């Protein structure tokens, strides 16, 4: 399922640099939230593609963290700062002079948003405003992808997937703050950017329930399993029947980066648009099913159910991803089982204590790229010349 034999290194090197139409090779890319789960994987992947990568984050949000396990502090230009501080962010952007920005920095926890609503709104809504201000005032930025969430929609607990045109909203402060970020973005796009030549091309990206190695988020199901099972305890399931569209981290990042590539090329009409990224609509599974599948990769995996009602969460949340398929030819390539196998493989390697996790992550990225290429996805298609050995 996951072949480990790589082509000759020189072949791989030439091929990967042409992925995503080769737009990231030699390009200056700034990631906000690069110390977090998704941001650290994105930094790793962009380095592999030959980008000059910088990151802006307030802290390393967990311990352990993929950012530390992969030694990324020494591999990218690291700006420590608060996205709520507009001056600090503009100064970092002016110094680094990115041509592309991926904005991922956020207070990303629903449960924490109930105890820290002001911090959540300031970070997620005003933080996005500050990134948009940088797009207005820092010369040379060609494109930006702003990451919000599947939770930006008003949740109706219905069986259909939300479409990009559905009503924004969200009852808890986290979800609402992501809806606010979308509204602020729309205003800036209409008022300051539009499709005027020479101004940054921009889009927002909405996804949810991302899983993969290197995530140590508190109160998230996969990290909860790893923490419990690594110490021989049963994991506690708070919401076993909640149904979600689980998405491997490389799948969602391929969507963000292909969207960025489309904006940079100016060809796709993605400018000013929002895109959902997720698995096919039939690929939804309960928390309990996920734990049972993930548990197959562990010697001892058990769980207890203990419902909690202090921070209500939707029971069913699905996205319609037909727009990404139609306009970007983007779709997922991993099955549910492969998603969990890849995730478990990373944690087992980390817990074995002997691995270089940066190299291990690169190996997962290369295998994923190969599978996407074999599946015919345009972002993973390389020109013929790029496949020749050198």
Ligand X SMILES: NC(=O)c1ccc[n+]([C@@H]2O[C@H](COP(=O)([O-])OP(=O)(O)OC[C@H]3O[C@@H](n4cnc5c(N)ncnc54)[C@H](O)[C@@H]3O)[C@@H](O)[C@H]2O)c1
Which stretches of the chain bind ligand X, using CB under 6 A? 33-39, 57-59, 61, 82-84, 104-108, 123, 147, 149-150, 207-210, 217
Of 206 and 371, CB closest to ligand X: 206
Instruction: Please choose, from the candidates 338, 348, 326, 337, the residue with its C-alpha nearest in 3D space to the C-alpha of residue 368.
Output: 338
Of 16 and 105, CB closest to ligand X: 105
CB of 78 to ligand X, least distance (A): 11
CB of 332 to ligand X, least distance (A): 15
Of 21 and 67, CB closest to ligand X: 67
CB of 37 to ligand X, least distance (A): 4
State how far the Cα of 217 lies from the Cα of 128, in Å rounded to an integer.
Answer: 22
Of 112 and 136, CB closest to ligand X: 112
Of 104 and 134, CB closest to ligand X: 104
CB of 338 to ligand X, least distance (A): 18
- Positions of E strands within 111-200: 143-147
CB of 373 to ligand X, least distance (A): 26
CB of 68 to ligand X, least distance (A): 12
The helix/strand/coil state of 246 is coil
State how far the Cα of 10 lies from the Cα of 317, in Å rounded to an integer.
Answer: 43
Of 38 and 318, CB closest to ligand X: 38
Burial class (CB in 10 A: 0-12, 13-18, 19+), 306: exposed
Q: How far is the CA of 161 from the CAs of 49, 155, 276, 278, in angstroms?
A: 33, 10, 10, 10
β-pairing, 77-80 vs 52-57, is parallel
Instruction: Please choose, from the candidates 76, 339, 2, 62, the residue with its C-alpha nearest in 3D space to the C-alpha of residue 214.
Output: 62
Of 18 and 247, CB closest to ligand X: 247
State how far the Cα of 172 lies from the Cα of 108, in Å rounded to an integer.
Answer: 12
Burial class (CB in 10 A: 0-12, 13-18, 19+), 8: exposed
State how far the Cα of 74 lies from the Cα of 72, in Å rounded to an integer.
Answer: 5
| DSSP β-bridge partners for residue 32 | 56, 103
Please give the residue whose beta carbon sits closest to ligand X in the complex. Answer: 36
State how far the Cα of 246 lies from the Cα of 377, in Å rounded to an integer.
Answer: 20
Instruction: Report yes or no: 293 and 336 within 8 Å, Cβ to Cβ.
Output: yes
CB of 382 to ligand X, least distance (A): 28
Of 209 and 254, CB closest to ligand X: 209
As a whole number of Å, the end-to-end CA separation of the chain is: 28
CB of 250 to ligand X, least distance (A): 13
């Amino acid at each position: 399922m996951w072949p480990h034999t790589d082509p000759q290194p020189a072949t791989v090197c030439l091929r990967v640099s042409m992925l995503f139409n080769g737009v990231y090779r030699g390009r200056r890319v700034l990631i906000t939230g690069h110390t977090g789960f998704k941001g650290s994987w994105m930094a790793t992947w962009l380095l592999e593609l030959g980008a000059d990568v910088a990151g802006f984050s307030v802290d390393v949000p967990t311990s352990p963290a993929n950012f530390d396990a992969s030694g990324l502090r020494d591999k990218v230009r690291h700006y420590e700062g608060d996205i709520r501080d507009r001056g600090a962010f503009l100064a970092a952007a002016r110094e680094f002079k990115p041509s592309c920005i991926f904005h991922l920095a956020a207070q990303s926890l629903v449960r924490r948003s109930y105890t820290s609503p002001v911090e959540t709104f300031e970070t997620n809504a005003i933080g996005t405003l500050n990134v948009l201000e940088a797009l207005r005032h820092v010369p040379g930025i060609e494109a930006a992808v702003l990451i919000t969430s599947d939770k930006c929609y008003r949740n109706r607990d219905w069986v259909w997937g939300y479409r990009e045109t559905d009503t924004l909203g969200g009852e808890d402060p986290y979800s609402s703050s992501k809806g606010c970020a979308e509204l602020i973005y729309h205003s800036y796009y209409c008022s300051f950017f539009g499709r005027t030549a020479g101004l940054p091309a921009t889009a927002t990206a909405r996804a949810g329930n991302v899983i993969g190695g290197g995530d140590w988020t508190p109160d998230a199901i996969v990290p909860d399993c790893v923490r419990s099972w690594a110490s021989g305890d049963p994991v506690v399931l708070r919401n076993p029947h909640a149904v979600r569209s689980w998405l491997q981290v490389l799948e969602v990042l391929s969507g963000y980066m292909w969207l960025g590539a489309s904006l940079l090329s100016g060809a796709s009409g993605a400018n000013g648009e929002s895109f959902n990224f997720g698995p096919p609509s039939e690929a939804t599974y309960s928390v309990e099913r996920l734990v049972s599948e993930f548990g197959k990769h562990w010697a001892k995996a058990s769980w207890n159910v203990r419902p909690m009602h202090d921070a209500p969460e939707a029971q069913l949340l699905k996205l319609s991803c037909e727009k990404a398929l139609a306009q970007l030819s983007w779709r997922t390539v991993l099955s549910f089982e492969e998603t969990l196998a890849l995730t478990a493989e990373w944690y087992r390697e980390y817990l074995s204590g002997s691995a270089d996790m940066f190299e291990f992550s690169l190996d997962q990225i290369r295998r994923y790229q190969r599978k996407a290429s074999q599946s015919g996805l345009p972002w993973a298609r390389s020109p013929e010349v790029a496949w020749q050995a050198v």
